[in-house]
Amino acid sequence: MDNRGRGLLHAACEGGDNGIVRTLIETHGMDPLAEDKDGITCLHLLAERKRVYIYQYLEPNIVSNPIPKDKSGRTPLHYASRSDNIGMVHYLIETFPCTPDDPDNNGYTSVHGACEAGSMELVQYFLTDLKCNALAETDDHKTMLYFASMSSNLELVRFLVDVFSLKPRPHDIEIAQSVDPDSSVVKYLQKVNTGMIFDMMEEEKRMKETHQEKHEQQQQTDPQSQDITS
């Protein structure tokens, strides 16, 4: 065991050595569902490292829990999505009972993870093909747009704004600025945010004008009513 609580099987899976993995399981009886100090299993590492072939080999040994959660509530699908491992994502979704909308302990889904990875392909697959929830927020109110802004992928950010009508919040702009203050993502988010403020001001102005018109019409109607009464 190392200081993270990981043993030889963790290391073999992380390294992608199928021969050593087979030996450790078949000869030494090691458990691929064994957890380290953070609840991370070999399956999480395989998902993160694109080791589909080893995950497939392990299927008979993980029947009791093919999609385990670490201590933060994240599954291998979270790890694969956050690492932009497209092949692994398809394999997990098509083979096991898991969906990208499954949240961790903080409401973070695999869709958030794909946004954080800046993966346009995965996000389109999740939101367009699988119809996942584009409006999902974490418990601390972070949307898909927040994580996409972290990735600095302008195409992805525009996709979320244009297609799913996500509105930038101040912390979305702040996180983009923390990555690169002069990035195209920052400029785009600021532009959209300015447009939103302008639209709100115009809407408020329109409502005031409508209210004023109604008030003036009411004043014009009242004297007529009084004349009829008299």
pLDDT tens sequence across 52-72: 999 999 999 999 999 999 999
Examine residue 86 and state whether it is found in any structural domain, yes or no: yes
> What tokens appear for 27 in the block?
């000869």
Q: Residue type for 78, please? A: H
The 10s digit of each residue's pLDDT in 145-168 is 999 999 999 999 999 999 999 999
Average pLDDT of the segment spanning 38-43:
98
pLDDT tens string 174-199: 999 999 999 999 999 999 998 764 44
- Region of poorest pLDDT, from 80-84, 112-116, 174-178, 208-212: 208-212
Count of domains for the chain: 1
For 6, 67, 108, 227, the CA distances from 136, given in Å and listed in that order, are 33, 21, 8, 59
pLDDT (0 to 100) of residue 1? 82
Q: What is the mean pLDDT of the chain?
A: 91
What pLDDT does 194 receive? Answer: 87
3-class DSSP string for the chain: CCCCCCCHHHHHHHHCCHHHHHHHHHCCCCCCCCCCCCCCCHHHHHHHCCCHHHHHHHHHHCCCCCCCCCCCCCCHHHHHHHCCCHHHHHHHHHHCCCCCCCCCCCCCCHHHHHHHCCCHHHHHHHHHHCCCCCCCCCCCCCCHHHHHHHHCCHHHHHHHHHHHCCCCCHHHHHHHHHHCCCCHHHHHHHHHHHHHHHHHHHHHHHHHHHHHHHHHHHHHHHHHHHHHHC
pLDDT the model gives residue 49 = 93
Q: The CATH number of the domain where 93 resides is what?
A: 1.25.40.20
Q: Which residues contact residue 10 at a Cβ distance below 8 angstroms, ignoring those fewer than 6 apart?
A: 34, 36, 40, 42, 45
* pLDDT above 80 (res 138): yes
How far apart are the C-alpha atoms of 22 and 28, rounded to whole Å? 9
Q: Is residue 23 part of a domain?
A: yes
Angle, in degrees to the nearest 10, between helices 144-151 and 170-179: 20
Is 57 inside any structural domain?
yes
Is 6 part of a structural domain of the chain? yes
- Asked if residues 117 and 83 have their Cβ atoms less than 8 Å apart, the reply is yes
Position 2 scores a pLDDT of 85
What pLDDT score does 198 carry? Answer: 45
**How many whole angstroms separate alpha carbon 112 and alpha carbon 143?**
8
Pairwise pLDDT comparison (217 vs 125), residue with the higher score: 125
**What percentage of the chain exceeds 70 in pLDDT?**
84
Query: Cα–Cα distance between 50 and 223 in angstroms, integer?
Result: 80
Instruction: Tell me, yes or no, whether 21 lies in a domain.
Output: yes
Whether 12 is covered by a domain: the verdict is yes
The parent domain of residue 30 ranges over 1-98
Q: How far apart are CA 137 and CA 222, in angstroms?
A: 51
44 domain-assigned: yes
Is position 206 within any domain? no
